Each structure stands twice: as structure tokens, then as C-alpha cells.
Amino acid sequence: MPAPLRIGNASGFYGDRFGALREMLTGGPLDVLTGDYLAELTMLILGRDRLKDPAAGYARTFLRQLEECLGLAHERGVKIVSNAGGLNPAGLADAVRALAGRLGIPVRVAHVEGDDLTAAHPGTLAAHAYLGGAGIAACLREGADVVVTGRVTDAALVTGPAVARFGWAPDAYDALAGAVVAGHVLECGTQATGGNYAFFTAHPRARLRRPGFPLAELHADGSAVLTKHDGTGGVVDVGTVTAQLLYETAGARYPGPDVTARLDTVRLTQEGPDRVRIEGVRGEAPPPTLKVGLNRLGGFRNEVVFVLTGLDVAAKAGLVREQTEDAFAAAGARPREVRWDLVRTDRPDADTEETASALLRLVVRDPDAEAVGRAFSGAAVELALASYPGFHVLAPPGKGAPYGVFEAAYVEQGAVPHLAVLHDGRRVPVAPPADNRAPDAVPDSGVPGDVPEPPLPAPLPPGPVRRAPLGLVAGARSGDKGGDANIGVWVRTEEAWRWLAHELTTDRLRQLLPETRAAGLTVTRHVLPNLRALNFVVTGILGEGVAAQVRFDPQAKALGEWLRSRHLDIPEALLTTSGPDPARTAHAPEATQDLPEAAR
């Protein structure tokens, strides 16, 4: 059997830890080092960069990191694969070649292109298809040392090197699906090693202050062991891997251009300290379509936050709101969208001014920059001496700023000119998968629908309950996909799973998160018994996506933590057996083995 492919990650977003590339190269042996720099918001940012400079459009941070580390990677024989090319992978490849020439490092640089469909979508700032890993594999097979891409799926950074190493055929669905799952765990960097982790208090705080970046030992059959370099901070256990598996996913089928991975087949086992085995992943044919991310400018926005201190908070909010609306009417320039949110952060008889204060947030949006610019700022500022007692704002409103809108479309895989541009200049077309069918396809997208809901475990027998936060029993991680949000919720014992599967229904989630009920949002529940997890998709909670900044938490990063803080009736037996007591383990020398060996 071929030796495992040791593939690491050194970036989860554009702006991640600058020194991670060096840390991963010097921390231990690697075959391939990946970096994920792209998100929906990043594509909009790069699109605006390209408007100012047609030669821009890629992640400049990556180039600066290579200036420090390209020689080190070459000495150690580590291939580098990254989507830092963004909107201009050819431009970044040329810049890497120029850097290598200046440094005297003989590396072969290739890139992948064909994802840019902006010309076919008039009115967009950037329209890019999510390509798979076949182009990356072609570049590596031909000897590339560095491969940069544009918009590929995050998991493609792993499937590409895996195909190049193991020679998997396009229909090796189980192996490909295993690589997709490993790639999904790696893609967000330290979120797999204890970052943003719900049960972080169960581990010594010193271990989580600077988590190391993750790596996978990927085998020829698609199984993998998730781990990190010895001596680095953080924790890799069944819980941290489960949390990342649920992040920004939906149902049991996880479709991509290489394969549709079945998340309901994933089995996790704690193999040892900071080592989690991923196995049993089944795959199906990929869908016939590719997702296309459409980014466009939606208009202009502005905001001001009024601080309301002490008594009569509701009356103060009512006064300033009426005054502002009167000012809009007098100017004849009310923005098209006006949103008020009163956040009651105040408490009675507070011993600090901050804790005696509430926040009234006013957000305005309009296609015309002037409507949210000086006219809006003037209406707010001119009230300074004429409104409620104690009037002040967190910061004076400035000029209106442009905001973006994200939408998803779908195109046939064969309609996208996927190309591997090799280090010697050859342009190699990459054919779409020959077999691409979508079981129970969703209309207008071609992506596969979800599997039938599996049988639920037997409910717990009746017993005493106590009103307590859900988070004492369950972990959660949430994130954004366009205008939708997902909340993955999991538990650590079979008894807790028997309770959660029956208790946390869509109706109960709406009760716990009244925002979803008040707005009439669609909530869909997906059951993943192997992970002892439920995954909820809340459709439309983020409006037109993160760049539109419709919501207080525009990427739904803390939506899961809000859910965990809500109180409900929990069996007393679970409150004593759901996991380690954070107070007991906070100073334990080693607290990584707090989760069950496997989700069966």
C-alpha cells in the first residue's frame, strides 16, 4: 500500500495567522501544505480590488508568506496548493514565478483556471464556478511544486493532491468522499484543533491560547487520521472534528464537483491523544451541475448606534426614532430600507455606566449613496443637543459604504472550461466526470436531495428534569451559506442522543430562537446518528448574505452559541453524565479524552 499522504493546512481565510505557513513547514513532516483564502465575502473584496487594478484580484498575503517560506518548502520537498489565486490565478502564478526567480529558488509553478464566468453574468462583480480537484491533480502529476487556483471547493485542495498521489479513478467514490470529508475538516484551519469550540472550558486554557493548524494522514482507501504537529497547541478529539464536520453543511448528502459525500456514513474514533480516525465514508456520483457564486454590488449602507443609559430606555428609543423619521421626512430623503434594533444590554441599578446602557442600532440601505450619506449623517448628528437625556453614539456615522449581495446559480459541469495550466505553459483541458447523476435532485439546481430520515433512537424513559441551558449537554457550531445559516448540534453520549433526537425538533428550535419564528423562516432538520448530531438549516436568516450585513451577526457565527444558552427542561441524569465538569478539568494536565471513542 502507498504511504499515507500527509497534508496540512496553513490558512482558513484571507487574514488568518501570517506565521502559520512557517509553523507548518517547520513543525514536522508534510507532503503537501494547503491554504484556503476564499469565502463568499472574500470574492467580493477581491472583485473590488480588481476594479481598481486589473492586475489585482488575488490574496497578496499568500505572496508575502511565500517570500519567507518558499525556500523552506523547496528544501523539505513540500508541495504547496492554495486557492489564493482568487479572481486572478494566472496573475498570482506569474507573481510566484517572479518571486522564485528573484530568490533563486527553482520551483515549478502551475495554476488552475476556468472558474471565472463573470462575462456570462452581466451585472455581477464576480461570478465564479466551484471547481473540483481534477485540475490540481493534473498540475501535480506533471511535476508542479506550487499550484494556485481560483474558486475551487475548499475540499478540492485535498482531493486534488490525493488523486495525484493515489491515482484514484473518477468513480472511486468512497475514496474521494473520504478525501472530501478530510478536506472539509482541514479547510477552516484551527477550527479543527480547538478553535471556536463549544466545550473549550473542558480543556486547559493554556492549550487553547494558540492552537496549532491541522493535518491529515490520508490513506489510499480514503480513510484518514486528523492530527496536528507534535508540541503545538490546541486539541484534536472527536468533538473538535465533529464540530468542524457540521460547519456550513446541510443534510446527509454533501455534494461537490468530485463526488457526493455521505456525511451520515462518517465514523469517528479517538485513536490516541490528538489523533482522530475518520473512516467508513461512502460516496456517490457528483451532481451534473456546478455551483456558481454570484457577487454583485447591492447598493450603499450606513449605520449609527445610539447609546441609551439609565431610566426610560424604551421612551428614549421611541423619541430618537420619531425624531430621526421626522428628519427623513423633512429632507424628503428617507432611505429605501430603514431598520431599527433595540438591544437591551442594560440592567437595573448597574454599578458601571456601560452595564446601565442599552444600544439602539439604526441601519439604512439604498441604491443611491447620497441617500445614506450626508443626509443620513446630518439627521443623526443634528439631534445631539435636542433629543433624549444622555444622548451619545458609539461613533459618528460616516459616508455611505457599498455593500454586496451573494447569490448562487448552477451550470452544467461540461459548460465550464476547467483548465490545468502547467508549469511549462501547456494548457490541459479537464473533462467533467462521466457519471454525474443526482439522486432525488432538487429542481433547478441538479444537486442531490437529502436521504430519508433515519430511524430515531428510543427515547429516554421519563424522569426528573431541571430547567437549564442546552449547552450543558450539547455542543453547537453555526455558519453561513449565502443568505442561509446552519446550526450543527451534537452530544457526547448515547443517552444524551436519545434525548436530543426527540427534544430538539424544528418547532422547539423556533421556540428557542424566536427570531426564526417572528420572521416566518423555514427551518429544516437533518439527522446524523453516526455523529450523534442534528443539523438545522435556517433559510433566509442572513438576507442577501454576509456582505449585505442585514443581521447583528451577519455570518451567523454565534447563532449556535445563542441556541446553547437557551433554557429548556433537561433530564437530571444527563446533567451529571453529559461530559466532564469544566471546573474539574480546567487545570487538568491532560483533558483531551473527554468524548466517547466513536459515534456508532
Q: For the packed helices 156-166 and 134-141, what is the interaxial angle rounded to 10 degrees?
A: 40
- Give pLDDT, residue 585: 32
Strand partners, 79: 32
Name the strands in the sheet holding 533-539, side by side, starting at the edge strand that comes first in the sequence: 474-481, 484-491, 533-539, 522-528
Neighbours of 269 (CB within 10 A): 18
> Whats the size of the chain, residue-wise?
600
Name residues of the chain where pLDDT drops below 70.
Answer: 438-439, 577-600
Handedness of CA 135, 136, 142, 146 (dihedral sign): positive
Strand-pair category, 522-528 with 533-539? antiparallel
* CA torsion angle 218 220 222 227 (round to 10): -20
Q: Phi/psi at 297 (nearest 5 deg)? A: -80, 125
Nearest Cα to 276, choosing from 173, 186, 161? 186
For 584, residues 6+ apart whose C-beta sits below 8 A from its C-beta are none
CB-CB contact of 591 with 240 (8 Å):
no
Nearest Cα to 492, choosing from 513, 510, 507, 471? 471
Q: How far apart are CA 380 and CA 141, in angstroms?
A: 61
CB-CB contact of 157 with 184 (8 Å):
no
For 443, residues 6+ apart whose C-beta sits below 8 A from its C-beta are none
Task: Name residue 319's amino acid.
Answer: L
Q: Please write down the long-range contacts of 351-354, taking CB distance under 8 Å and 24 or more positions apart.
A: 353/309
- Give pLDDT, residue 399: 86
Cα–Cα distance list, 490 to 106, 246, 471, 476, 586 (Å): 48, 9, 10, 6, 22
- Give pLDDT, residue 577: 65
Handedness of CA 383, 385, 391, 394 (dihedral sign): positive
What are the tens digits of pLDDT across the range 463-488?
999 999 999 999 999 999 889 999 99
Nearest Cα to 260, choosing from 507, 501, 437? 437
The greatest distance separating any two alpha carbons of the chain, rounded to the nearest whole angstrom, comes to 78
Percent of the chain with pLDDT over 70: 95
* CA torsion angle 552 558 561 562 (round to 10): 10
DSSP string, 411-433: EEGGGS--EEE-TTS-EEE-PPP
Cα–Cα distance list, 462 to 400, 474, 570 (Å): 57, 20, 11
Q: Is the pTM of this model over 0.85?
A: yes
Q: Which residues of 396-406 are buried (b: 16+ CB within 10 A; e: fewer)?
A: ebeebeebbbb
**Burial class, 509, CB count within 10 angstroms (exposed 0-12 / middle 13-18 / buried 19+):** buried
CB-CB contact of 555 with 471 (8 Å):
no
